[in-house]
């Protein structure tokens, strides 16, 4: 199998992390907005638990953003797995 040259374009846009960045930005903005809304409406005794839960969810999103493989890496992993299992792409 030949390696792609520097001029070749990946068919998977996520290889440039554009969609992942947009997703994380949108989710982070939504969680921040939710946190502001909930803090304004919640009773003072419930605020620490609510804030911890939302911050934990935000931390999970950021870890997924930083650690999760890209679509291109997943495709390569699945292709490699098919070869190792001996299916070779046959039905």
Domain boundaries, the chain: 14-85
Contact 18, 75 (CB under 8 A): no
> What mean pLDDT do residues 27-43 have?
85
Alpha-carbon gap, residue 78 to 12, rounded angstroms: 15
Of residues 34 and 10, more confidently modeled: 34
Give, in order, the Cα–Cα distances in Å from 5 to each of 8, 31, 58: 5, 40, 38
With cut-offs at 50, 70 and 90, classify the pLDDT of residue 16: low
With cut-offs at 50, 70 and 90, classify the pLDDT of residue 89: low
Q: Which residue has the tokens 């997943």?
A: 74
Residue 45 is predicted with a pLDDT of 92
Alpha-carbon gap, residue 16 to 67, rounded angstroms: 15
Q: What's the Rg (C-alpha) of the chain?
A: 20
């Amino acid at each position: 199998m030949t390696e792609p040259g520097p001029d070749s374009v990946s068919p998977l846009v996520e290889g440039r992390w554009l969609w992942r960045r947009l997703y994380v930005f949108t989710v982070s903005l939504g969680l921040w907005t939710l946190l502001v809304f909930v803090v304004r409406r919640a009773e003072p005794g419930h605020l620490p638990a609510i804030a911890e839960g939302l911050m934990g969810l935000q931390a999970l999103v950021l870890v997924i953003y930083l650690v999760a493989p890209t679509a291109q890496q997943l495709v390569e992993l699945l292709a490699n797995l098919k070869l190792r299992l001996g299916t070779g792409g046959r039905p």
